[in-house]
Chain A
Amino acid sequence: MRFSGFRVVKEALTGHKGWTPLWRTPDPKPAYDIVIVGGGGHGLATAFYLAKTFGRLNVAVLEKGWLGSGNIGRNTTIIRSNYLLPGNEPFYEFSMKLWENLEQDTNFNSMVSQRGIINLIHSDAQRDAYRRRGNAMHLAGAGGTLLSRDQLRDMVPFLNFDNARFPIKGGLLQPRAGTARHDGVAWGYARGADMRGVDIIQNCEVTGFRIESGKLCGVETSRGYIGARKVGVAVAGSSGRVMAMAGMRLPIESHVLQAFVSEGLKPTVPGVITFGAGHFYVSQSDKGGLVFGGDIDGYNSYAQRGNLPVVEDVLEGGMALMPMIGRARLLRAWGGVMDMSMDGSPIIDKTHVDGLFFNGGWCYGGFKATPASGFAFAHLLATGRPHETATAYRLDRFSRGHVIDEKGAGAQPNLH
């Protein structure tokens, strides 16, 4: 069933009797060519591109809970490609291009909204750094504009420009960035993959890997053994404990990141705004709630909930940047579990086990990467070679000394 304007009108006139479920609920087959572990954004995108671009049809996605119940349901929905380093910037720009065509590709309304992102500048040194970053973005085709203080005042007059400690001196704008409806992304990819024959199996937890003489044969699950020629693990947040079942230690710690949403307000914040001095970012959802977040809690956690000190820290950042936020009531707060990798950058690679592939270490940048992550992982699973934009995301980059230290914080996940 394809969605279209004609279809909506037809259903409206015939009592909405023609809608069907977006995907099937099949029982697992005894074996597949490729099994994806993890039915979140990245796993579903991988399955979608495997089926659509690489023609792999005998594919299953295994999800231990319900589809999209992990980090794709727990983020702040920002999409952007304003990166700096050569190992990163082309990959995120590739992702941005896929976002721009996502709804046509999946025939699903994922509410991709290119409302722009502004990174604020508070010092001359920061202006130099953002000018350099903007140049790196232009080299990758991502675009970007350096805004003066006066231009910013016209766009976002409600910010506290004359904050004594962190006066706002300008900003770096990426107009093509914005937000997307996170659940819609998961549902769109799931439906698109299902329509092309991928089996999406929910409530099916992987409990072990069957490995014989260094070669992967399949996965043990809560619904029995499933054979597979190749297995791709895309369970960011739980990467440590899932890959431990295959006997691997990863350069990853799991930390919790909290996000917040206010009561619904009239349209106020035009795009995404990030506070360059502290760590605070805010946008407004289509329902009107201000969506914002800040730093991770900073210690290992699988709890999917945070603690109050970070709530206070985030709200202080919000008040310093945007004093009027103090008049809005906080509606909800939640926590997602992040794979904090040792250099702050992701990993997409094959492992030492023949047939076992790994995708993880997204830190808090996983949502914006969803399409490119899925495409690059599908490329790796289908061809055995890394996608051209993901060649730097190797597992052994730490031992080779080729870390991608975007934030320059070293091997300290709680500082990224």
Chain B
Amino acid sequence: MLIPHPLLGLRDAQEFTYLGDASLMNRPDPGAPDAEAAFCDYVFLRDNPAGVHRELWFHEQGDRSWLVVTRNTLTHEILGAELAADVKVGGVK
């Protein structure tokens, strides 16, 4: 798989480390009254869709940036990639 890095162009997916669902960027509020349950869901539960999936890839062998990659889990087609820092500013769906 080739990942279209927004700064570096197409890069081999082997340069990256995968961390899973991009919603992991939305860490629960540790001060909230239901924080324990929220963190349990956050750490362990996943939507696991068959189809379009937004996920985190770390460019470990490259510029060490985190990307949010949109990919189809049924076909391995990559639909786009953004810098996670940019997504974080705009908020993750």
| A interface residues with partner B (beta carbon < 8 Å) | 238, 240-241, 244, 249-254, 298-303, 307, 309, 342, 398-399, 411, 413-414
Contact in complex: B46, A303 (CB < 8 Å): no
Give the distance in Å from the alpha carbon of A309 to the alpha carbon of B45 in the complex: 28
Residues B73 and A303 in contact, CB atoms below 8 Å apart: yes
CB of A254 within 8 A of CB of B73, answer: yes
B7 within 8 A of A: no
Interface: B74 (CB within 8 A): yes
Are A301 and B45 within 8 A (Cβ)?
no
Pick 23 A–B contacts, CB within 8 A, sort by A: A244-B49, A249-B41, A249-B45, A249-B48, A250-B48, A251-B46, A252-B46, A252-B48, A253-B48, A254-B73, A298-B18, A299-B13, A300-B53, A300-B55, A301-B76, A302-B73, A302-B74, A303-B73, A303-B75, A399-B44, A413-B20, A414-B18, A414-B20
What residues of A have a CB within 8 angstroms of the CB of B20 in the complex? Answer: 253, 300, 413-414
CB-defined contacts of A299 to chain B, threshold 8 Å: 13, 18, 55, 71
Q: Please determine whether B74 and A303 come into contact, CB atoms closer than 8 angstroms.
A: yes
Q: Assess the B44–A398 pair: CB atoms within 8 A.
A: yes
- Is there a chain A Cβ closer than 8 Å to B32's Cβ? no
Q: Is the CB of B37 within 8 A of A399?
A: yes
CA A241 to CA B48, docked complex, whole Å: 7
| Secondary structure of the B contact surface, majority rule | mixed
Interface bits B33-45 vs A (CB < 8 Å: 1, else 0): 0000100110111
The one of B14, B41, B44, B49 in contact with A241, judged by C-beta atoms closer than 8 angstroms, is: B49
B13 to chain A, nearest CB (A): 7
Give me the interface of B with A, judged by CB distance under 8 Å: 1, 13-14, 18, 20-21, 37, 40-41, 43-50, 53, 55, 71, 73-76
With A240-B48, A241-B50, A413-B20 as known contacts, state yes or no: A307 contacts B76, CB within 8 Å.
yes
Contact status of A250 and B46, CB under 8 A, knowing A302-B73, A302-B74, A303-B75: yes
Assuming the contacts A250-B46, A303-B73, asked whether A398 and B13 have C-beta atoms less than 8 A apart, the reply is no
Q: Nearest Cβ distance between residue B36 and chain A, in whole angstroms?
A: 8
Smallest CB-CB separation from A304: which chain B residue? B74
Chain A neighbourhood of B13, CB < 8 A: 299, 307, 309
Q: Could you say which of B1, B40, B43, B73 contacts A300, with CB atoms under 8 Å apart?
A: B73
In the complex, which residues of chain B have a beta carbon less than 8 angstroms from the beta carbon of A250? 45-46, 48
Known A244-B49, A309-B14; 11 more pairs at CB < 8 Å:
A240-B50, A241-B49, A241-B50, A250-B46, A251-B46, A252-B46, A253-B20, A253-B21, A300-B20, A300-B48, A302-B74
- Let me know if A399 and B40 touch, CB within 8 A: yes
Identify the closest chain B residue to A309 (Cβ): B14
The distance from the CB of B31 to the nearest CB of chain A, in whole angstroms, is 20
CB-based contact B44/A411 at 8 Å = yes
A251 touches B45 (CB 8 A): yes
Chain B residues near A253 (CB, 8 Å)? 20-21, 46, 48
| Contact flag A240-B49 (CB < 8 Å), given A303-B73, A309-B14, A398-B40 | yes
Tell me the nearest residue of chain A to B1, going by C-beta: A307
CA distance A154 to B40 in the complex (A): 50
**Residue on B with the closest CB to A300?**
B73
* Bound: A253/B46 CA distance, A: 7
Contact of B44 among A244, A251, A302, A309 (CB under 8 A): A251
Bound CA span A241–B47, Å? 8
Smallest CB–CB gap between B16 and chain A, Å? 9
Please indicate the chain B residues that have their CB under 8 angstroms from the CB of A301 in the complex: 73, 76
Tell me which residues across on chain B come within 8 A of A254, comparing CB atoms: 48, 50, 73
Q: With A and B bound together, what is the CA distance between A368 and B53 in angstroms?
A: 31
Complex: A241 Cα to B46 Cα, angstroms: 11
Contact A249 B73 (CB under 8 A): no
Taking a contact as CB atoms under 8 Å apart, the answer to whether B45 and A244 are in contact is no
Question: A38 to nearest B CB, angstroms?
Answer: 15
Question: Please, how many angstroms separate the alpha-carbon atoms of A309 and B76 in the complex?
Answer: 14
